[in-house]
Amino acid sequence: MMNALTRRDVLALAAQGGAAIAAAHAPPGALAMQDAKPAAAPSPPAYSGTHAVVPLPFDPKALKGLSEKLLVSHHDNNYAGAVKRLNQIEQEIAALPKDAAPFKMGSLKREELIARNSMVLHELYFGNLGGDGKPDGGIVDLLHGRFGSFAAWEQEFRLTGKSLGGGSGWVVLGWDAHRGAVHHYWLFDHTHSPAGVVPLLVMDMFEHAYAMDFGASAAGYIDACFQNLNWTEVQRRMDAVSGK
């Protein structure tokens, strides 16, 4: 057998033996460092994918006309799902190679917009619930001056919501920087957001927001929403816009 060894075999065996000796005398952790893969570069802040789910700002058992089951399901499934999707999408954008096809970026950016708007609008929606439904503060005067009366604004806001019944969308009262006044808007989905508008009051009109309690009765759901509006939060948002 020794005669059968070639010069190449002898050199290979010698190399293996040398490696074994080196390993035996290597300091602790040295081999692990050799085998470890280089750490991936951290994602830039723009696409870190670290958005956190915000808990409900009220006791879901305490709202009038909206069940705990509905509110918890809405929060834990629809809203939290949007947050998780946004995090995943951001990480996928960060991982795109420099030579990625434009359509890949376009597709991801579209999904980013949908998930982002869903996340933010849900947070605003839950944030303006949990109140006693009694309008108060300077926002009431603004709505009166803009629509002729608070009652006229409320009728228009409710009617806008009913127009979305049985489908999807949002009704958003906001401060419109272009108009320099409050105004409310009809948003059919998460890609319809009026430019230059800061939301003050948000009402979710997707069926998942009410079907569990009201079936197809969007009007009943809107009544319940108005019973639980937190006008103190709406006023706080208005004050933030005006710098008060």
Q: In this structure, is residue 173 part of a structural domain?
A: yes
Helices (H), 50-197: 68-73, 80-94, 102-127, 138-147, 150-163
Whether the predicted pLDDT of 3 surpasses 60:
no
Are 237 and 216 found together in one domain?
Answer: yes
Q: In this structure, is residue 226 part of a structural domain?
A: yes
Are 119 and 146 found together in one domain?
Answer: no
Percent of residues, the chain, with pLDDT higher than 90: 77
Distance of CA 42 to the CA centre of its chain: 22
| H/E element, 193 | none
Are 142 and 216 found together in one domain?
Answer: yes
Tokens of 164: 């979305």
Are 76 and 96 found together in one domain?
Answer: yes
Whether the predicted pLDDT of 4 surpasses 60:
no
Q: Give the count of beta carbons closer than 10 Å to the beta carbon of residue 121.
A: 22
Are 104 and 199 found together in one domain?
Answer: no
Contact 201, 187 (CB under 8 A): no
Listed residues 76, 104, 127: the one ending a domain:
127
Q: In this structure, is residue 199 part of a structural domain?
A: yes
pLDDT of residue 39: 62
Overall domain count for the chain: 2
| H/E element, 7 | helix 7-24
Q: In this structure, is residue 71 part of a structural domain?
A: yes
Tokens of 60: 């879901």
Domain membership of residue 200 as a residue range: 138-242
pLDDT of residue 193: 87
Are 170 and 220 found together in one domain?
Answer: yes
Q: In this structure, is residue 15 part of a structural domain?
A: no
Whether the predicted pLDDT of 156 surpasses 60:
yes
What's phi and psi for 146, nearest 5 deg?
Answer: -85, -35
Q: Which residue is listed with tokens 């995090």?
A: 87
Q: In this structure, is residue 121 part of a structural domain?
A: yes
Are 121 and 206 found together in one domain?
Answer: no
Tokens of 200: 């003050």
The torsion of the CA quartet 188, 192, 196, 199, rounded to 10 degrees, works out to: 50
Q: In this structure, is residue 157 part of a structural domain?
A: yes
Q: In this structure, is residue 18 part of a structural domain?
A: no
Are 155 and 238 found together in one domain?
Answer: yes
Are 176 and 100 found together in one domain?
Answer: no
Contact 233, 131 (CB under 8 A): yes
Q: What average pLDDT does range 217-228 have in this prediction?
A: 98
* CATH code of residue 97: 1.10.287
